């Protein structure tokens, strides 16, 4: 028996449209991934133009690594799409809301019943998603990353980390949400302006305190010791008037042998962070195999987990590290951060405004099983996550395209600083250390790559005339 569209109520139409869109995006991305997987499977010889850049062995290693990752994301993606669909179809959201109500009533939490219930709901929902995501992330870390030589964590470290992450998230999420709900409740007609301003302030505060108070809970940051590299970094920063206050090395090798560098901070207080795995002379992974640890002899705390040395040295030499920083500082000099913040704030304002327009529509709540109540938190979830999903997809695609432009511009900046050849070899080394696969399907990379493919970056670095 088929229902025609006319026979469906408005709320049913909304519900099925959301579900249909979600599956459309899922199938589209699965299609793109299958195109890319085909490339991993069929490109078994190093393409001619890559001959000088990548040796046969690394090429094969990266091919197998990316193939494993792609297969993994096929299954984890299918799982999460199925889970999301089941939650919607079985009324998981109203069910959890009801459970939260029972708990709130039982323990008589707080003075505002709806806000208390919302916080309980949020806690349960994040707990559920952390628990269902855990097996996937365990598998990814201890099977896939492990197999390809990246994982440096012990299971103890990993689990402790997951618990810490959950608790820190709760400490931020719960007070911020309750204040936001309160502002929406008392804000009157222009509540969306106050709500937007509030999230803006929260973002700025979080960005400010993140590096000093949150990140150190998870990783060890040490100032880069005095020496040639530090002097060179300082003079590079000075040459473009970058207000550098500190250079840190983060012990990324505790987690994995992937490497990176970034900077952060507002106004006149900028810091640069280098992964120890980026620095040839600093990476514990290069310290060679130490004397075989005797069983039970060492202190077995997970703080003591020994980095597993790789067969090959990894990381960049000082001029290459400086070129990577030249690229990073290019992002700053060209105002990429400011532009990104502006875009995201404009977007957030627009979303809160539309939220204000839509929140009074009862059929949106009814579509997701809320027939007699319209809790604000649920409204936020339905509108920001479900109703805006086509807009969110479009926006994220545009941001990916923009990000690739910014990457080219930052490369060009480093090139103008005279670092072209160092950046060229740094990109090749980083690609090798991280086992990036240098061949990609055009559609897949257009949709997903926040950084341009390696070959395009190298070509742009080599000269103004592209071949
Ligand atoms: Zn960049």
Residues in contact with 401: Cβ distance below 8 Å, sequence separation at least 6, in sequence order: 446
| Rounded Cα distance, 8 and 10, in Å | 7
**pLDDT given at position 298:** 36
Rounded distance from Cα 373 to ligand 1 centre (Å): 47
Average pLDDT over residues 412-432: 94
**pLDDT given at position 2:** 57
**pLDDT given at position 467:** 39
pLDDT at 246 over 70: yes
Average pLDDT over residues 409-437: 93
* Distances 365 to 25, 77, 119, 131, 359 between C-alpha atoms, Å: 23, 27, 19, 27, 9
Rounded distance from Cα 96 to ligand 1 centre (Å): 41
Percent share of the chain, pLDDT over 70? 91
Q: Which residue has the higher pLDDT, 46 or 108?
A: 46
| Rounded Cα distance, 258 and 314, in Å | 10
Rounded distance from Cα 407 to ligand 1 centre (Å): 5
Rounded distance from Cα 467 to ligand 1 centre (Å): 23
Buried b (16+ CB within 10 A) or exposed e, 50-71: beebbeeebbebbbebbbbbbe
| Rounded Cα distance, 100 and 122, in Å | 9
pLDDT at 405 over 90: yes
Q: Do residues 426 and 323 make contact, with C-beta atoms less than 8 angstroms apart? A: yes
Rounded distance from Cα 330 to ligand 1 centre (Å): 8
DSSP labels for 253-299? Answer: GGTBS---EEEE-STT-EEEEEEGGGBTTT-GGGS---SPPPTTTS-
Q: What is the pLDDT of residues 1-42, one digit of tens each?
A: 555 666 788 999 999 999 999 999 999 999 999 999 999 999
Rounded distance from Cα 324 to ligand 1 centre (Å): 9
- Enumerate the H helices of 187-223 as residue ranges: 191-209, 215-218
Q: What is the pLDDT of residues 224-241, one digit of tens each?
A: 999 999 999 999 999 999
Rounded distance from Cα 186 to ligand 1 centre (Å): 42
pLDDT at 252 over 90: no
Rounded distance from Cα 261 to ligand 1 centre (Å): 9
Q: Do residues 359 and 100 make contact, with C-beta atoms less than 8 angstroms apart? A: no
**pLDDT given at position 280:** 84
Average pLDDT over residues 263-283: 84
Rounded distance from Cα 419 to ligand 1 centre (Å): 15
Q: What is the pLDDT of residues 301-328, one digit of tens each?
A: 344 444 444 446 788 999 999 999 999 9
The reported pTM is: 0.86
CA-closest candidate to residue 440, choices 33, 48, 68: 33
CA diameter of the chain: 77
**pLDDT given at position 167:** 97
Q: Which of 55-59, 249-253, 289-293 is predicted least confidently?
A: 289-293
Q: Which residue has the higher pLDDT, 139 or 253?
A: 139
Q: Do residues 135 and 162 make contact, with C-beta atoms less than 8 angstroms apart? A: no
Residues with a known catalytic role: 328, 411
Categorize the per-residue pLDDT at 260 as very low, low, confident or very high, splitting at 50, 70 and 90: confident
Annotated binding-site positions for Zn(2+): 327, 331, 407
**Mean pLDDT, the chain, as a whole number?**
89
**pLDDT given at position 302:** 40
Annotated binding-site positions: 327, 331, 407
Percent share of the chain, pLDDT over 90? 74
Q: What is the pLDDT of residues 288-306, one digit of tens each?
A: 544 333 333 333 334 444 4
Q: What is the pLDDT of residues 116-158, one digit of tens each?
A: 999 999 999 999 999 999 999 999 999 999 999 899 989 999 9
**pLDDT given at position 398:** 97
Rounded distance from Cα 328 to ligand 1 centre (Å): 6
**pLDDT given at position 147:** 94
**pLDDT given at position 196:** 97
Q: What is the pLDDT of residues 335-355, one digit of tens each?
A: 998 999 999 999 999 999 999
């Amino acid at each position: 028996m088929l229902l025609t569209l006319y026979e469906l109520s408005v709320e049913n139409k909304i519900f099925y449209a959301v579900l249909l869109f979600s599956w459309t995006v899922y199938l589209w991305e699965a299609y793109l991934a299958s195109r890319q997987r085909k490339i991993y499977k069929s490109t078994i010889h190093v393409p001619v133009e890559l001959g000088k850049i990548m040796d046969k062995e690394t090429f094969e290693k990266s091919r197998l690594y990316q193939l494993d990752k792609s297969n993994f994301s096929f299954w984890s993606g299918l799982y999460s799409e199925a889970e999301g669909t089941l939650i919607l179809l079985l009324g998981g959201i109203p069910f959890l809301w009801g459970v939260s109500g029972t708990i709130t009533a039982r323990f008589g939490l707080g003075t505002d019943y709806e806000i208390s219930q919302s916080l309980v709901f949020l806690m349960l929902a994040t707990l559920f998603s952390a628990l269902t995501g855990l097996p996937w992330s365990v598998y990814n870390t201890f099977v896939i990353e492990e197999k390809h030589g990246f994982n440096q964590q012990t299971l103890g470290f990993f689990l402790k980390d997951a618990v810490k992450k959950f608790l820190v998230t709760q400490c931020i999420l719960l007070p911020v949400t309750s204040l936001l709900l309160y502002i929406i409740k008392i804000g009157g007609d222009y509540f969306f302006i106050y709500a937007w301003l509030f999230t803006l302030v929260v973002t700025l505060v979080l960005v400010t305190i993140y590096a000093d108070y949150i990140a150190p809970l998870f990783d060890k940051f040490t100032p880069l010791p005095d020496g040639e590299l530090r002097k060179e970094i300082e003079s590079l920063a000075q040459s473009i008037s970058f207000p550098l206050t500190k250079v840190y090395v983060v012990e990324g090798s505790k987690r994995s042998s992937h490497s990176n560098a970034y900077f952060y901070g507002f106004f006149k207080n900028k810091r640069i962070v280098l992964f120890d795995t980026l620095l040839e002379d600093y990476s514990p992974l290069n310290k060679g195999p130490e004397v075989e640890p005797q069983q039970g002899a060492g202190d077995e705390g997970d703080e003591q987990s020994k980095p597993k040395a790789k067969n090959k040295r990894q990381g960049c030499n000082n001029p290459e590290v400086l070129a990577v920083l030249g690229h990073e500082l290019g992002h700053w000099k060209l105002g990429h951060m400011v532009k990104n913040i502006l875009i995201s704030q404009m977007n957030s304002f627009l979303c809160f405004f539309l939220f204000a327009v839509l929140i009074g529509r009862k059929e949106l709540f009814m579509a997701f099983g809320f027939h007699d109540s319209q809790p604000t938190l649920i409204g936020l979830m339905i509108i920001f996550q479900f109703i805006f999903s086509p807009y969110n997809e479009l926006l994220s695609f545009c941001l990916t395209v923009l990000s690739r432009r910014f990457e080219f511009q930052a490369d060009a900046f480093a090139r103008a600083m005279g670092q072209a050849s160092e950046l060229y070899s740094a990109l090749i080394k980083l690609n090798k250390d991280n086992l990036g696969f240098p061949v990609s399907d055009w559609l897949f990379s257009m949709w997903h790559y926040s950084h341009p493919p390696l070959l395009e970056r190298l070509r742009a670095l080599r000269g103004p005339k592209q071949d």
